Amino acid sequence: MIRGPGSRAPTPPSGAAPARRGAGQPPPDGQTEQVAAVEQVVYVERAASIDQVTPTDQVTPTDQVTPTDQVTPVDQVTPVDQVTPVDRVTPVDQVTSTDQVTSADQVTSILRWYASHARDLPWRRADASAWAVLVSEIMLQQTPVTRVMPAYEAWLVRWPTPPALAAASPADAVRQWGRLGYPRRALRLHAAARVISERHGGELPSSIDALLALPGVGSYTAAAVASFAFGQRHPVLDTNVRRVLARMAAGRQWPARSPTAAEAALARSLLPARPEVAARWSVAVMELGALVCTAGRPRCGTCPVAAACAWRLAGSPASNGRRGGQPYQGTDRQCRGRLLAILRDADAPVPPSHLDAAWPDDAQRGRALASLIADGLAEHHPDGGYALPAHPPADRPQVPATP
């Protein structure tokens, strides 16, 4: 699909615009998303892995925040009465623990609920470009929507297209990212913009394989962008969706810590056949998890599938599986954040003495600074100072650090 900067994908049949998902979750303190094959199912545990993004110290852990609210505005949603549920749902022949679920009814009920409850966010709108969808997906990893909104809008005002960002320096990207948290995401977006500009004529590619080849884009993000920006048919499983399916179909309060084959089969079985409806279904069940079937206080009384929810019918039994919050105060993550804030606010290389004053523990400060350099978020200058990266990694001069 060839699209100009700021353009939208062709309007799908029946007048529906491609669905948009929402916030963040992302995902986790790993460096790659944990699913290898998008064609099989795409999911992410945003508390453990964020498309190759190593968390830094800008964000206090929010294990209850799962960015999954990117949705197409209600006026862009194809009326549910145009969907013939039985014709559009693959039989659930490979799924265990689904006897309480009538898949066609569940899909129809959730789509109908979504049509009247979808929230209006800028990345869901018809005029949002594929680039804007990618920016939102990256920003929403492990970050609440309320924090993402101003950063997203400011980012796209400054860099509305990939070539615009590619022409800037990595330091500009990190500064613009500000205190959004997990700043390696800024470097990943900058690197992706360069690849898009050099290999794809400045246009975000629409194929899963091409998306997966972009820096910082793992299987979850590739499927999400393909679905929400280009209206394609891919299962998109994030933490919210996994929680909804675990409760609705398997009768468990929490999904397994790692995705299972049964979970993947269930996601595939519920995916509507029409691509534009499949994309809308993916964002609808994410929205249900974000607004109703929440981690902390599920609002079962307002859930459109409560009558057939296996977990509710079993009495909502408690189960293990939810991870506790990660400590932040006094950690290397906090130290990294403090050092990075000093580099971000400086217009010139920062003398080591300024960094020394920012954190009292010499050993911890040394570890944090070394990790910032290793992650490409800081550079050591010949004069002995430190600064944000002025060049992409491939173009960066190698300067040995002072012992």
Place of tokens 């959730």: 110
Angstrom distance (rounded) from CA 20 to CA 18: 7
Residue 228 CA to chain centroid, in angstroms? 12
How far lies 258's CA from each of 61, 161, 220, 250, in Å? 20, 36, 14, 15
CB atoms within 10 A of CB 389: 23
Per-residue pLDDT of the chain (403 residues; tens, 9 = 90+): 434 444 444 434 444 445 665 544 444 333 333 333 333 333 333 333 334 433 334 433 333 333 434 433 433 433 433 433 333 333 333 333 434 345 788 999 999 999 999 999 999 999 999 999 999 999 999 898 899 999 999 999 999 999 999 999 999 999 999 999 999 999 999 999 999 999 999 999 999 999 999 999 998 899 899 999 999 999 888 889 899 999 999 899 999 887 788 887 888 889 999 999 999 999 999 999 999 999 989 999 999 999 999 999 999 999 876 666 678 888 999 999 999 999 999 989 999 999 999 999 999 999 999 999 999 999 998 888 999 998 776 555 554 444 3
Q: What confidence score (pLDDT) does residue 8 get?
A: 42
Which residue out of 45, 137, 203, 287 is catalytically annotated? 137
Angstrom distance (rounded) from CA 87 to CA 59: 45
Instruction: Report pTM.
Output: 0.72
Q: What confidence score (pLDDT) does residue 22 get?
A: 53
Angstrom distance (rounded) from CA 186 to CA 177: 6
Q: What confidence score (pLDDT) does residue 95 get?
A: 37
137 counts as catalytic: yes
Tokens of 275: 């691509």
Q: What confidence score (pLDDT) does residue 188 get?
A: 96
User: 11 exposed, middle or buried (CB, 10 Å; 0-12, 13-18, 19+)?
Assistant: middle
DSSP string, 343-394: HHH-SSPBPHHHHHHH-S-HHHHHHHHHHHHHTTS-EE-TTS-EES-SS-GG
How far lies 99's CA from each of 62, 79, 259, 308, in Å? 34, 28, 20, 10
User: Please, what is the angle between helix 332-345 and helix 362-374, to 10°?
Assistant: 70
With CA atoms as reference, report the closest residue to 388 among 187, 148, 188, 214: 187
Q: What confidence score (pLDDT) does residue 126 get?
A: 92
User: 303 exposed, middle or buried (CB, 10 Å; 0-12, 13-18, 19+)?
Assistant: buried
Angstrom distance (rounded) from CA 153 to CA 198: 25
